[in-house]
Amino acid sequence: MTPRRQSGRAPVTSPAAATVFTTVLTQGPVSRVDVARRTGLSSAAVTKASRPLIEAGYLVEMDSAQGGVGRPASPLDLRTDREFFLGVKITDRELIGVVTDLRSQILVTKFHQLPSRKVDAVVDGVSEMVTELLAESKAYKQRTHCVGVTVAGDVDRESGFVRYSPFLHWRDVPLAGLLAEKINTGKTDLEITVDNDVKAITVAERWFGNGVGADSFALVTLGTGIGCGLVVNGGVVTGSHGVAGEIGHIPVFGDGPLCHCGATGCVEAIASTDAIVAQARTATGEPGLTMEEVITGARLGDAALRRVFARAGVAIGRGLASMANLVGPERIIVSGEGLDAYDLFADEIRETFATQAFGAAAHCELILRPLPFEEWARGAAAIAVQTLFIS
């Protein structure tokens, strides 16, 4: 079982080629001269690296019709429909799938309910999603080679294993391999890459979103889980052991409640959607409360419920300050479904962050930005784009 094969399609065979490709991907159209200026490569190196990318149809020269091919001033741009990419995000209840072009523009979005969280059911569901997405256009079927699949939790991209997914109750599932086996029958031969969902969306933000131009930033997602994608020194932090960005598992509440991960006092044990609902049920003595009811009650002024959100805000603020003190990102983008209740803990988040940030770390900008569900699948597709030039 070989979950990750080298496609050998995009001729990105050197660090210089990867640098040129990424620069045009994120900043194109851009002239060779500007690529050289922005990357520190020599003009000769840029010309040499871009040639095979042009020949293979990934890059185009914008005014090549008017002048000689290869003139350094001709801006290079992406041929965005040279190849298409599939992204599938697995949540605990559904699959969200997209087709994107090379620049991560969403062309098709589909939602599928998941009948069960069992591995077989999820593998079947992703396989069906892939078939349906490809069936949307002949071009997709012909020019799609890479699929990105993302899930919350501890995912080892290299081996294709989901090592721990709390919401699917999975441990050590060889997801990339199982999907490749299921999907790659007959003529289909897709490269399947699995990764953590927040890391994936951070790749998309870095290339095409709020992260463009920032040497370091963090994307924090609030919701069923509390996760974080980090870009430091110009690169996504992947963790030497495959774990990074687990801001939800910083122990900011000391001997506080037990977390599902086995540790105590984690941000997630106080501020995840499940934790908020559980605390609200205890506080009110109403075991049937839903998150919607908890939010509504708090907005109507229920003091016990407001205290639950305030405590969650303190936990989140401590987590954000921990990150700012350790890593010092230029900005932190806060997002996720948990933003729905942001009015209920925004003050506590900001106050706690301001108090706990060390010195100038408090200057780190907090940006609130909702991420629609399809953005998660777009992140998965961005991981697929990444396989073109990460070996």
Which residues in this chain contact a copy of itself in the complex, by CB under 8 A?
14-16, 40, 42, 45, 153-154, 156, 163-164, 214-216, 228, 230, 232-235, 237-247, 249-256, 261-265, 318, 321-331, 355-356, 358-361, 363-364
Which is closer to a copy of itself, CB of 127 or CB of 386? 386
CB-nearer residue toward a copy of itself: 66 or 391: 391
User: H or E stretch including 119?
Assistant: helix 119-134
Using DSSP, state whether 354 is helix, strand or coil.
Answer: helix
Partner residues linked to 209 by β-bridges: none
Tokens (6 digits) for 179: 């999907």
Q: In this complex, which beta carbon is closest to a copy of itself, that of residue 295 or of residue 314?
A: 314
Min CB(307)–a copy of itself separation in Å:
14
Residue 263 dihedral angles phi and psi, to the nearest 5° = -95, 180
Cβ-defined contacts of 51-57 (< 8 Å, 24+): 52/11, 52/13, 52/17, 53/10, 53/11, 53/12, 53/17, 53/20, 53/21, 55/11, 56/9, 56/10, 56/11, 56/82, 57/82
Measured from the CB of residue 68, what is the shortest distance to a copy of itself in angstroms?
Answer: 25
Minimum CB separation of residue 335 from a copy of itself in Å reads 18
Cα–Cα distance measured from residue 190 to residue 302, given in angstroms and rounded to the nearest whole number: 53
Pick 108 or 261: Cβ nearer a copy of itself: 261
29 versus 72: smaller Cβ distance to a copy of itself: 72
| Number of other residues whose CB lies within 10 A of the CB of residue 94 | 14
Residue (96 or 230) nearer to a copy of itself, CB: 230
In the complex, the smallest distance separating the C-beta of residue 375 from a copy of itself, rounded to whole angstroms, is 23
List the one residue out of 280, 375, 391 whose CA is nearest residue 335: 375
Least distance from a copy of itself to the Cβ atom of residue 43, Å: 12
Minimum CB–partner distance for residue 231 and a copy of itself (Å): 9
Nearer to a copy of itself (CB atom), residue 72 or residue 242:
242
| Shortest CB 220 distance to a copy of itself, Å | 11
Taking the C-alpha atoms of residue 98 and residue 162, their distance in angstroms, rounded to an integer, is: 21
| Least distance (Å) between residue 71 CB and a copy of itself | 22
Q: Which residues pair with 231 in a beta bridge?
A: 217, 236
Strands 144-151, 84-90: parallel, antiparallel or unpaired by DSSP? Answer: parallel
Instruction: Please provide the distance, in angstroms rounded to a whole number, between the alpha carbons at the two ends of the chain.
Output: 18
Q: 220-236 burial, b for 16+ CB within 10 Å, e for fewer?
A: bbbbbbbbbbbbeeeeb
Nearer to a copy of itself, 91 or 216 (CB): 216
34, 47 Cβ separation under 8 angstroms: no
